[in-house]
Amino acid sequence: MLCLGIDTSGKVASCALMSEDKLLAEKILFTKLTHSQIILPMVTELMDGCGLTFEDIDAVVCAAGPGSYTGLRIGIAAVKGIVMGAPLLKCAAVSTLEALCYNVAAYQGKIVPVMYARPGVVYAGEYMSRGGVITLLSEDRVTGEEEFFRSLDITGGIMLTGDRCTEIKQLYFSDREDVLCAPAADRLQRASSLCAAYLTNPERAVSPQELSASYLQATKAEKSKGVSQ
């Protein structure tokens, strides 16, 4: 099985081609440009570099969220467009927090992905890593940073990953050697991790019409609508 991953959920734009036993190629670009301007050219360059077409791949995967509202919609729209033009392709959306755990899947134990949402508030989750397979311990959430990490069970040690991990380590666990931070290269979103999550559980495939974002909180438009009502 060959999977194409597309991640535009955060500050990086990323795409990857991965099979069940190897990573064929990956492009990661930390950019100030709009992801909508660069992600499809990145995918084209990646596919051309591997000498592959969409007829050669089995599935396309994007980030479901949480993350940038606009970025998530760009990634989902890109996957829908690709799959609708190639009806035999499967597609899926994977939790951004789950995919971050696959960045450090070699770690054995609890992984806590944490992403900045707004001052004092984070997106966070709790997962377990065993033998390269990630399982969910508690639901992804948007939560008060201090509330979450003051009450977090770190028995046996944890691995922190995500764009807020170093600050969390310094603020709450500076004296704990068993609370680790992911290496710098593994703290931000990677499309290969979306592929890894899908390849571990391809049953999560859905129709392109069912692809949707999981923001974990109301969008600005929804908040504005609520105020106006």
CATH code at 159?
A: 3.30.420.200
Closest CA to 53 of 29, 23, 99, 86: 86
Residues 63 and 87 grouped into a single domain: yes
Q: What length is written for the chain?
A: 229
Helix axes 35-50, 69-84, angle to 10 degrees: 40
Is the per-residue pLDDT at 153 higher than 50?
yes
> What count of Cα atoms within 13 Å lies in the side-chain half-sphere of residue 84?
10
Beta strands 109-118 and 121-130: pairing type?
A: antiparallel
Q: Which domain holds residue 174?
A: 98-186
In whole angstroms, give the CA distance from residue 99 to residue 152.
21
Residues 68 and 103 grouped into a single domain: no
Higher-pLDDT residue of 88 and 62 is 62
Residues 137 and 166 grouped into a single domain: yes
Instruction: Give pLDDT, residue 85.
Output: 85
Residues 166 and 140 grouped into a single domain: yes
Alpha-helical regions (H) of the chain: 35-50, 69-84, 96-103, 145-150, 165-172, 191-200, 220-228
Instruction: Give pLDDT, residue 33.
Output: 75
Instruction: Give pLDDT, residue 218.
Output: 67
Residues 46 and 86 grouped into a single domain: yes
Cβ pair 89, 202 in contact under 8 A: no
Residues 91 and 102 grouped into a single domain: no
Instruction: Give pLDDT, residue 225.
Output: 44
Mean pLDDT of the chain: 93
| Number of domains composing the chain | 2
Q: How many Å separate Cα 194 from the centre of its chain? A: 6
How far is the CA of 228 from the CAs of 170, 183, 216, 224, in angstroms? 41, 45, 22, 6
- Which tens digit of pLDDT belongs to each residue from 167-197? 999 999 999 999 999 999 999 999 999 999 9
Share of the chain above pLDDT 90, in %: 90
Q: What is the mean pLDDT of residues 43-57?
A: 96
Residues 130 and 79 grouped into a single domain: no
Tokens at 15, concatenated: 């795409």
Residues 90 and 103 grouped into a single domain: no
Strand order across the beta sheet in which 121-130 lies = 133-144, 121-130, 109-118, 158-161, 179-181
Higher-pLDDT residue of 222 and 158 is 158
* Residue 16 belongs to domain with CATH number: 3.30.420.40
Instruction: Give pLDDT, residue 62.
Output: 98
Q: What is the mean pLDDT of residues 127-153?
A: 96
- Which tens digit of pLDDT belongs to each residue from 194-226? 999 999 999 999 999 999 999 998 655 444 444
Q: What is the mean pLDDT of residues 62-89?
A: 94
Beta strands 59-65 and 90-95: pairing type?
A: parallel
Residues 31 and 45 grouped into a single domain: yes
Closest CA to 101 of 27, 169, 165, 34: 165
Instruction: Give pLDDT, residue 219.
Output: 52
Residue labelled with tokens 């990634």: 75
Residues 168 and 112 grouped into a single domain: yes
In whole angstroms, give the CA distance from residue 114 to residue 100.
9
- Which tens digit of pLDDT belongs to each residue from 81-136? 999 888 889 999 999 999 999 999 999 999 999 999 999 999 999 999 999 999 99
Residues 213 and 179 grouped into a single domain: no
Residues 76 and 16 grouped into a single domain: yes
